[in-house]
Amino acid sequence: MKITGKAACGAVCGGSLVLCGELGIGLFATRAQTQTVDGSFVADATSAGMTEVKLGQMAEQKGWNTAVKDFGKKMELDHSKAGDELKGVADHNNITLPSDMNYANKSEYEKLSALSGKDFDKAYATQMVQDHESAVALFKKESTQGANKDLKEFAMKTLPTLEGHLQMARQMEQTVESE
C-alpha cells in the first residue's frame, strides 16, 4: 500500500500512532516540547531551590547587613518549604529529582563563598535579584506551558511567593548599594 501526501501519512510504532506531515509533526513537536518544559522545570526548580537554601544559610552567617541576614533566613525557610512541596509532587508523579545543584548554581555558590562583609552583601543581593528574575520566568513558563497538571499547579501556587522574593531582593539590593 502506497501513501502519498505529507499530511496523510502515519505509522504505528510501538503501539502508538506516530503522525507525520505538516499537521502531525506539529502535534508531535508540541507534545515533545511540553514534556521538555516539565523536565526542564523540575531540574531547574530543584537546583535553584537547593541553591537558595544554601545561599540563604551562607547569608545568615556571612552577611554584614541585617537586611541580608534576614533575607537569607527567609530564603532558607521558604525555599525549603517549596522544595518539600515539589518533592511531594514529584513522588506522586514518579519523577526523580536531582540530588544536587547544577554546575551553574555550584559556581554561583563558590563565587559567593569566597566573599565576605559588604562585598558579600552586594554580590549576594545582586545574585538574588538575578536568581529570582529567572525563577519567576521559569515558574511562569511552567504554569502556562507545562503538561503535568500537578507541576503546573505547584508553579502557579509558588509564583506569588517568588514574585514577593524578587521585590524583597530588589529592596535589599538598593539597601546594600547605598552603604
Q: Is the pLDDT of residue 45 over 80?
A: yes
Q: Is the pLDDT of residue 36 over 90?
A: no
Instruction: Summarize the confidence of residues 31-40 as an average pLDDT.
Output: 66
For the record, the C-alpha cell of 45 comes out as: 526548580
List pLDDT tens digits, range 51-109: 999 999 999 999 999 999 999 999 999 999 999 999 999 999 999 999 999 999 999 99
The pLDDT value given to residue 152? 97
List pLDDT tens digits, range 1-32: 444 443 333 333 333 333 333 333 333 333 34
Domains by residue range for the chain, with CATH: 41-177 (1.20.1260.10)
The pLDDT value given to residue 37? 86
What is the rounded CA–CA span in Å between residue 50 and residue 55? Answer: 9
List pLDDT tens digits, range 138-178: 999 999 999 999 999 999 999 999 999 999 999 999 999 99
The pLDDT value given to residue 26? 34
What is the rounded CA–CA span in Å between residue 108 and residue 8? Answer: 51
Collapsed DSSP state (helix, strand, coil) of residue 14 = coil
For the record, the C-alpha cell of 56 comes out as: 540563604
Could you identify the residue written with the cell 502508538?
16
The pLDDT value given to residue 13? 38
The pLDDT value given to residue 124? 98
The pLDDT value given to residue 3? 41
pTM value > 0.85: no
The pLDDT value given to residue 58? 98
The pLDDT value given to residue 35? 59
